[in-house]
Chain A
Amino acid sequence: MGEFKVHRVRFFDYMPTAIRAMAFNAHTERLALARMDGSVEIFNFTDHYFQEKVIPGKDSRSTESLCWVGGRLFSAGLNGEITEYDLENLRPKYSLEAYGGPIWTIISNTQGTQLAIGCEDGTVKLFEVLEEHIQFERNLDRQKGRIISLSWHPSGTHIAAGMMDMIRVFDVPTGHAVQRLLVDRGFGGSKSQETVVWSVAFLSDHTVVSGDSAGKVQVWDGHTGTLVKTHLVTKWDVLALSVSKDESSVVAGTSEGTVIQFQFIAPTLHQQQDKEWVRTRTFKNHTHDVRALAEIETAIVSGGMDTHLVVRPLLEKFDEKSHASGLRKIHFPHRNLVSCAKKAGLLLFQFPGQLELWRLGDSDGHGENHTHTHTHGLTLTFSSPGSRQPIHLMTTSVDGKWLAAANSDCEIRVYNLQKLKLHCIVPVYGSCPSAMGIHPTTNNMTVVHADQQLFEYSIVEKQYTDWSRKLQKQGLHNVWLDRDTPVTHVTFNPKNPNQVVLHDMHMFCIIDQSLPLPDQKTQFYNQMTLRSLSEQERPSHLHAFKICKTFQDLLCVSLLDDQSLVVVERPLLAITSQLPAPVRQKKFAT
C-alpha cells in the first residue's frame, strides 16, 4: 500500500440532532423519521436501510409526530400546523393551521380517510383526507386537559386519547367521550405531579395499552373501563409505545434508553390458560431517552435523544443467523459532508446552516480556519424528464466534461457538460447508489451501491469496463458484502491511475486494479499478515482490496496531490459528550 503522511482531522464539529418521531409505511417499506431540528428523513428498508431522502427543516416547526396516509406523509408540531410533505421535490407541500394551539400528536385511521390530531386546548380535531389536501371535519368533545397521545381503534369507531392523569375513549361518530380510565400517579415525591400518559395503543379487542410518566405500562379493558394489568418497568418515563401489525407484541421505550417488549402469550405451557400480556424482552441499545419507536414485521426500530437509529431484528422471525438478523445502528448520514480540494489542501465542511472552509496545516497537524462563512444553503432540486424522483448524488469529472447524477429511483444519468445534453443512462441496478466517482484520466465512473456492490462504467464507451465485468463474474468477497455502513465517498490516487480510494464509517479501502481479485476463500483483511511475510512471499498473497481500520468514525478520506492522506474523523464519544443529560442510574459499587 505504501506509506502516506496522514492529516488526521478532528475539528469537524458535526453534531447530529435527536430523533423525535418515526412512522413506518408497511406498503412501501419506508421509514419516516422526524428530528428535533425539523428535518425529515426517509429510509428505504428494502435497500439495506439506505437513507434515501432528507428534507431539511427548521427549529420553529418543532415536529412532534408523523403519520403516513397511503403514500403521503403528514407531520404535526408545536407550532400548531399540520404539514404535508412533497416527497418528490423534498419540501413541505403546504401547512394547515389547526387553530387548536400546539399539536401533540397526529394519527390516521386504518382506511386512510381521516386524520385526527390531539391539541393543547383539549380538543381532538378530525380532518378529512382529500385528493390534494386535507379539510377540517369536526371536533370531538372538548376536554379539560391537553391531549398528549391518540390511538385509533382498527375499526375506526373509537379513539383513545392519553391526557394528564387519565385516558379518555371517544366514540367517533357522535364525538362524545364514552369512557374515562384513571391513571395512578407515581410513588413518593412524584405524587404531587400529574401523570402524563405519553403514549396509548388501541387494539382490536378494545384493549388499551398505555405508557405514562410514572414508568408504568398498563393494560385496560376498553369496554368496561377497568385496569387489567400494570407493569412497572422503569423509575422514569415510558415515552413511546408501538404495536406490531398482528397485535401480538407491544414495545415500550423509556427514558433510560431501554426498549421493553410485551407479548400476548399464555404465561405457562401447562393447561389451556388464557393469554395475557407478559413482559418478555428488554433491549438496551441507547444511552439516552428513547422517544420514537416502531415495530415492523421482523424488527424493532428505535430512536431517541442519542441521535442514532437502531434496528433490532427479532431473532424468532429468522430461520438462521445471517447478516440480515444482526443489530444495525445508523449514526452518520448516508451522504458526504466533506469536500476536499486536492491541490490547494482545503477542506469544506457542510453544516445544516453554514459552510466552513479550512486549510490543512503542516506537520503539527493543526488546521487554520481560513474563512468562516455564514452563507445560505442553496438547494436546487431538479429532475430530468422521465423520472420525478429527486437527485441525491452528483459527481463531475476532473476535466469538467461530464456530470453524473443519481436519483432515488436508482437511475444514473451522465450528462455532457460541453454540449449540455444527456450523454447516456447507466443500466439500472436494483439498489440505490451511495457513492460515485469519475477517474481523472480514464473517465471511468466507479459506482458503489447501498448493498455494497461495486461497478465501473466507462463513460466514453458507454459500457461496463472489463475490470468491472471480471469483478462481477468473480463476485465480491463475503466480508465486503457484510459491512453494514454504506460507502459515502469515492476518490482516486493522482499518482497511481490503478488505485481507487473509498471509505465507509469504519474503514477505508484502496482498490488496486492491477492486482488479482480475492476469491471467497482468501483472507480479506490481510494487511497485517502481509506485513509479517517476507518480501518473496508477499506477491502471491496480495489481492486488490487493501483495507485499513486504524481510523474510526470516518466522515471523509481523501488523497491530496502531494500523496498525503486526509482522514476526517468524528469520534462518537465527542458527539455523546454534547448530548442532553441522561438519567442518573445508580449502579452497585459506584
Chain B
Amino acid sequence: MHKMLVEKEVQPHRRSGLMTYRPKMAKKLLRKSPSSSNKFNSANMTDDFQLHLDSSDDDAPEEVTFEESKASALRSMKNALETSKREKDLLKEKRRKRQELFQEQKKRRLLPAHILEEIDTAPAKKQKLPGDQAESNHEEASCSWEEGREGSKEGYEKETKKGFKGNIRSLKGNYSVMRVADQSSTNSQQQTAMDFIQARLYGPGSQRTTNNELLSLENKRGPNKSAAMQFVNKKWGTEKKAKAEKLKKQWIQKQKVPSS
C-alpha cells in the first residue's frame, strides 16, 4: 500500500494547479519504508531504496511509530481521493463550458429570431391561397437565402428589412426559404465515388501534365515560335519567379562577399 501511494504522489499533474508535487513527502515515505517494512518483514524493496536515499548517515534509521505511519498513509490516501475528485470536477467544468460555447456559436449562426419568425408566419399565410403549393423540400427554392458571413450580417439585415416592408406579401408565387448550408454535404459514399473517378482520371499512372506545358508546346510548334507560356504571360508562375529573383540576389550577395 505504501508503494502505491508513493507512485501516485510522484507524478506531477499538469492540468490542475492544485496538485503540488511533493518530493519531500515521497522521500520521507521512501525513507520510512525500510523501517516499517522491517517491521512488516518485506525486506525486498529496502535494498533498492537504500541506494537512492542520500543516506550519508550511518546512523540507525529513525524511529517511527505505527500510528504515525498509519496516519500519514491515511492522509495521503485521502489526498489522492480529493485530487481525483477535484480532477473530475474540473473536467466537468470544462465540458460544460465547451457545451455552452457550442450553443452560443450555434445561436450566433442562426438568423436573428425575429426574421425567422416573420419567415415562418409568411408561408403560413400563403397556405390559404388556392393553387398548387410547391413542396418545401425542393433543393432550389425560387427564393433561397444563403448564410451570410459575420461581416455582411448588417447588410443582410438591412436587406431583409427592406424586403419585408410590404411588397413581398403581394407576390403570388410560391417560395420557400432554406439555407444552403443546412443541406447535407457529400456523404461518405459519394466522396468515395468521387475519389474513385479522381483517382482513375487524375491519379497515379494517368500521365498528366500541366496547362502551362500544353500551351507552351503549342507556342513551340506553332507557325510563330515563341517562348513558353509562363514567360509570355506575366501573371503566371509569380511565386516561381519571385523565388528565382530571391535566389539570384542571394547568389549575387554570395559572390560579392568572398571577393570583397
Contact = CB atoms under 8 A, between A and B. Distances in A.
Contact of A236 (B148, B159, B206, B215): B206
B207 A580 contact: no
A587 B140 contact: no
B202 interface: yes
A578 B213 CA distance: 13
A373 B221 CA distance: 44
B185 interface: yes
A581 interface: yes
Contact of A92 (B140, B180, B194): B140
A379 B135 CA distance: 18
B233 to A, nearest CB: 7
Given A577-B212, A577-B215, A376 B146 contact: yes
A283 interface: no
Interface string A130-160: 0000000000000000000000000000000
A58, A376, A381, A579 pick with most chain B CB within 10 angstroms: A376
Nearest to A239: B201
Interface string B199-234: 011100111111111110100110000000100010
Contacts of B138: 91-92, 94
B149 A61 contact: no
Nearest to B193: A102
B164 interface: no
B202 A581 contact: yes
B142 A584 contact: no
Interface in B82-96: none
A361 B238 CA distance: 24
A287 B214 contact: yes
A238 B190 CA distance: 23
A79 B190 contact: yes
B185 A102 contact: no
Contact of A378 (B143, B221, B233): B143
Interface string A180-203: 000000000110010010000000
A289 B201 contact: yes
A3 B215 CA distance: 35
A342 interface: no
Contact of A584 (B145, B187, B192, B213): B213
Contacts of A56: 140
B200 A583 contact: no
A236 B205 CA distance: 10
Contacts of B12: none
A375 B217 CA distance: 41
B20 interface: no
B258 to A, nearest CB: 40
A235 interface: yes
Q: Is the interface of A mostly helix, strand, loop or mixed?
A: loop
B208 A581 contact: yes
A78 B202 contact: no
A237 B201 contact: yes
Nearest to A376: B146
B105 interface: no
A515 to B, nearest CB: 38
B144 interface: yes
A92 B139 contact: yes
B208 A583 contact: yes
Interface in A354-401: 373-382
Interface of A: 56-58, 60-62, 78-80, 83, 89, 91-92, 94-95, 101-102, 104, 120, 189-190, 193, 196, 213, 235-237, 255, 287, 289, 353, 373-382, 573-574, 576-585, 587, 590
27 contacts: A58-B140, A60-B183, A78-B186, A78-B193, A79-B187, A91-B142, A95-B139, A101-B193, A193-B205, A196-B200, A213-B200, A237-B200, A373-B152, A374-B148, A380-B171, A573-B215, A574-B235, A576-B211, A577-B215, A577-B229, A581-B202, A582-B209, A584-B207, A584-B208, A584-B209, A587-B221, A590-B217
